[in-house]
Amino acid sequence: MIFTTQRLTIRALTLSDLDLFHKMQNDQAVMKYVGGKTYSLEENKKDLLNILKFYKLPKNDFWVWAITLSATEQFIGTIALVRNEKDEYEIGYRLLKEHWRQGYGKEVTNGLIKYAFEVKKIKEIVAYVDKENVTSVRILDSTFNFIKEFYNEEDNCIDRYYKLSN
């Protein structure tokens, strides 16, 4: 277990998460604001195995974990804390569509902020979100400091950039 919130447990991913991980990564609605591409079972298995390899690295700064319901231990999504190409600690999350609109996004974001600052001792975290992703924009507007909007050429969208300092 990495951390818990009121209703959620964040833990390391395992290969046994593949079916639901694939369901999430292969859902067009889930992937709409993260490039829009869905992935095959083989691509998702390769991605999951790659994530698991990072867990073993001594100076790992690429953490992607499972979000599970504490009551049932059911996988409902992933949350990430990664050092990006700009040397920033960036957060992100994805939830299976059937778990949207239940407050889990805000709950897990707040839990990750606390974990990043109190356990990992990170000084500053950032988040990027497609401005059309109104639910995530609302969560970030309520927890982070909005910095700017800019055109994201790679994903062909307008991104909002947020920072939060400890």
CB under 8 A, 24+ apart: contacts of 26-33:
27/96, 27/97, 29/97, 30/94, 30/95, 30/96, 30/97, 32/133, 33/129, 33/130, 33/132, 33/133, 33/136, 33/157
State pLDDT tens for residues 11-34: 999 999 999 999 999 999 999 988
Residue 124 makes CB contacts below 8 A (sequence gap 6+) with 88, 89, 163, 164, 165, 166
**Residue ranges of domains in the chain:** 3-165
Find residue 130's DSSP bridge partners: 159
Q: Which CATH architecture has domain 3-165?
A: 3-Layer(aba) Sandwich (3.40)
pTM for this predicted structure: 0.94
103: left (phi over 0), alpha (psi -120 to 50) or beta: left
pLDDT tens string 118-157: 999 999 999 999 999 999 999 999 999 999 999 998 888 8
DSSP-assigned letter for residue 119: T
Distance CA 155, CA 137 (A): 17
Chain centroid offset of residue 20 CA: 15
Q: Do 113 and 145 touch, CB atoms closer than 8 A?
A: no
